[in-house]
Structure 1
Amino acid sequence: MRKKGVFLIFAIIGIGALIWGTTSYKKAQEAKGWPTTEGKIISSEVDSHWSRTGTGTNRRSKMMYDAKVVFEYSVEGRVYTSNKVSFGEYSSSSRRSAQKVVEKYPPNKDVIVFFDPVNPEMAILEPGKIGGIVIPFVAGGMFLLVGIVGVMSKKNT
């Protein structure tokens, strides 16, 4: 019974990841229809940080990179600032990936900003882009599959 509980937790985590991924995907698709306004890049740089993976003797540190892009825009006379290029942004072990984003959005560049009409503080530069959103689908699917197989296995009763 104890093993089944562990597998049930795996299944629940998998379901949670799939729900989160689905919600993020829907938001990314909805953003394609958001109204637009003009904006300007305030700052753009590659940020790095150490990320730890594994446990015990398998614990490792890895340098990860993010594109930090800050832009300003106005809606109905009110000025807003955002740092979200797209939904599904993620850190990468490739500095080059982050550098490409920074090069695409240099400081002082004029940009088109897509903003949420209900909550204008939420804005992005690249609607519909789903890059990192794939991760929760893959991980969630794997966790759910392991959980279901483990719970249904007669060996774990």
Structure 2
Amino acid sequence: MSPRINIGSGDGNSSRGVLVFLVISVAIAGYGGYDYLQQSEAVRNAVEVDATVVETGVDTESGRRGRVDYRPTATFEYSHDGETYTGNSVFPGSVTPTYDTESAARDVVADYEPGDTVTAYVDPASPGSAFLKNQQTDTPVKLAAIGLVGVLLTAIKYVRS
């Protein structure tokens, strides 16, 4: 006999759905928290290096409810401890912000023209992951909050059942 976990009305499909939603919510919150810590560490440990801008631009992404989101992009080359790298992160961390308008995304990379020598930032513990703006974004916090809201909604559903 295997143990059963009942969440919700007792309907097996409903219970599985709630459990899947809970697991996804916890994963989203955890990933947001993890990326926030990664950003903090990268900014805290960053050293400046000279970089040459290769290209900048704006990527478009299909957002929620048919909306379009815009993500600033940049490619740059830099050296650290005698090794040459190519970077493509405007901000530290893996969760980068998107913008509602193309012009807002372009403003983020407006100071970076191809061929320009600019300052990039490198965490010596991860020299292949440089970034151009030595500042944290609020995107990981928003992601963690979305995940926590999912956990809260699951808890409310469970308590009401």
TM-score normalised by length of structure 2: 0.80
Contact 1:52–1:62 (CA<8 Å) still a contact in 2? yes
Aligned match for 1:76, one of 81, 84, 87? 81
1:103 is paired with a residue of what secondary structure?
Answer: coil
Picking from 35, 48, 54, the partner of 1:36 is: 48
SS at match of 1:122: strand
The Cα offsets for residues 62-112 of structure 1, whole Å up to 9 and x where unpaired, read as 333221211111012221111101133133331122111121322233222
- 1:97 maps to a residue whose letter is A
Q: CA deviation at 1:147?
A: 1.2
Question: What is the correspondence of 1:1-157 to structure 2 with a 5 Å cutoff?
Answer: 1=10, 2=12, 3-32=14-43, 33-49=45-61, 51=62, 53=64, 60-86=65-91, 87=93, 88-154=95-161
Residue 132 of structure 1: CA displacement? 1.8
Q: Which has the higher contact order (CA 8 A, sep 6+)?
A: 1
Q: Which stretches of structure 1, 4 residues or longer, exceed 6 Å deviation after superposition? A: none
Call closer, same or farther: CA 1:120–1:101 in 2, change over 3 Å.
same
Distance 1:66 1:12, change over 3 A: same
Structure 1 segments unaligned to the other structure (5+ residues): 54-59
Please tell me whether the aligned partners of residues 31 and 128 of structure 1 are also in contact (alpha carbons under 8 angstroms). Answer: no
Distance 1:123 1:42 in 2: 14
Mapped to 2, the partners of 1:4 and 1:104 lie a distance apart of 52
Displacement of 1:9 in angstroms is 2.0
Shift of 1:52: 5.8
- TM-score, structure 1 length as denominator? 0.81
Q: Distance in 2 between matches of 1:120 and 1:13?
A: 32
Counterpart CA distance in 2 for 1:127 and 1:23 is 18
Length, aligned pairs only: 147
State the distance in 2 between where 1:67 and 1:52 align: 15
Q: In structure 1, what is the Cα distance between the partners aligned to 2:151 and 2:112?
A: 38
Once structures 1 and 2 are overlaid, which stretch shifts more, 101-110 or 74-83? 101-110
SS of the equivalent of 2:84 reads strand
- Determine if contact 1:44/1:68 at 8 Å carries over to the other structure: yes
**Aligned partner letter, 1:67:** P
Unpaired stretches in structure 2, ≥5 consecutive residues: 1-9
